[in-house]
């Protein structure tokens, strides 16, 4: 069977910027895109662009928290950008809050954190063993001479000790790699817990303290209020 010919779609630079943004972050919202890419436009103008891309079958929208929606690529857009068509599927009840929290952390904070693909992690941080397609990574480029790999861990509202214990178990494996331990000592790696409220951040911090972490591991906490309505279905225990 012959390969499909490449798609030919007429897009301007703004359209391509939006599609590349969504491809990197898996989703976006009108509010985030307005703040991150198009501050010079009115928010309604940004929404009109997004809806046009939906009509052109390049973006699709799904319910978030009424009346808000989120946007993902379509299969057509994935093919156009050379991505896998699975990225066009709606996000599940656990992946949606995780991806939304990562989006807000990366592009809506006091400085930009570049979301990384598995391939980019392997290229830039070859010492990090077995990056996963299911985990979320970013890079803090505030110091370009020594970029820091960040492993983003979204709290979905369950007991704090649960997410901390799973994170600790994964990081303990870094002790088996001399290159990884050397990178930790150079402070080139950090874990970032993304949670909805200051109260839950304090609870996670308390759960972190009893564990013995690999030397020089940096652990940060970031509060993402947009997580609150997406995680109320889970138990917000400590």
pLDDT in tens, 90-100: 899 999 999 99
Look at the chain and count its residues: 238
d(CA 153, CA 132): 13
- In the chain the first and final C-alpha atoms are separated, in Å, by 56
The two three-digit tokens of residue 195, written as one number: 């949670």
Question: What's the helix, strand, coil split of the chain in %, to 5?
Answer: 45, 15, 40
pLDDT in tens, 10-51: 678 999 999 999 999 999 999 999 999 999 999 999 999 999
pLDDT interval class at 2 (50, 70, 90): very low
pLDDT at residue 9, as a whole number: 63
pLDDT at residue 173, as a whole number: 79
CA angle 192–90–197, rounded 5-degree value: 35
For residues 127-135, give the mean pLDDT: 84
d(CA 174, CA 195): 24
How do strand 113-116 and strand 189-195 relate by DSSP bridges? Answer: unpaired
Residue showing tokens 């225990």: 237
d(CA 2, CA 171): 45
pLDDT at residue 88, as a whole number: 81
Quickly count: other Cβ atoms within 10 Å of residue 62's Cβ: 13
Q: What is the pTM of this model?
A: 0.90
pLDDT interval class at 155 (50, 70, 90): very high
- Between 143 and 50, whose confidence is greater? 50
The answer to whether 124 and 139 are in contact (CB under 8 A) is: yes
- Poorest-confidence range of 58-67, 167-176, 186-195? 167-176
Say if residue 142's pLDDT is above 60: yes
Say if residue 237's pLDDT is above 70: no
pLDDT interval class at 1 (50, 70, 90): very low
Say if residue 4's pLDDT is above 60: no
């Amino acid at each position: 069977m012959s390969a499909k010919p490449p798609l030919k779609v007429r897009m301007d630079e703004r359209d391509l910027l939006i599609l590349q943004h969504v491809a990197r972050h898996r989703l976006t919202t009108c509010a985030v895109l307005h703040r991150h890419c198009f501050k010079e436009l009115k928010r309604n103008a940004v929404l009109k662009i997004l809806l046009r891309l939906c009509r052109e079958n390049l973006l699709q929208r799904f319910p978030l928290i009424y009346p808000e929606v989120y946007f993902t690529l379509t299969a057509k857009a994935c093919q156009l950008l050379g991505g896998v068509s699975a990225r066009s599927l709606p996000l599940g009840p656990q992946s949606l809050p995780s991806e939304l929290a990562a989006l807000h952390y990366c592009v809506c904070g006091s400085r930009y954190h570049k979301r990384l693909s598995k391939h980019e992690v392997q290229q830039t941080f070859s010492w990090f063993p077995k990056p996963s397609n299911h985990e979320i990574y970013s890079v803090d480029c505030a110091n370009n001479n020594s970029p820091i790999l960040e492993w983003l861990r979204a709290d979905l509202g369950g007991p704090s000790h649960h997410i901390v214990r799973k994170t600790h178990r994964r990081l303990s494996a870094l002790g088996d790699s001399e290159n990884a331990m050397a990178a930790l000592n150079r402070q080139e790696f950090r874990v970032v817990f993304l949670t909805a409220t200051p109260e839950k951040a304090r609870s996670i911090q308390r759960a972190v303290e009893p564990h013995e972490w690999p030397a020089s591991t940096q652990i940060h906490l970031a509060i993402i209020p947009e997580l609150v309505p997406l995680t109320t279905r889970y138990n917000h225990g400590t």
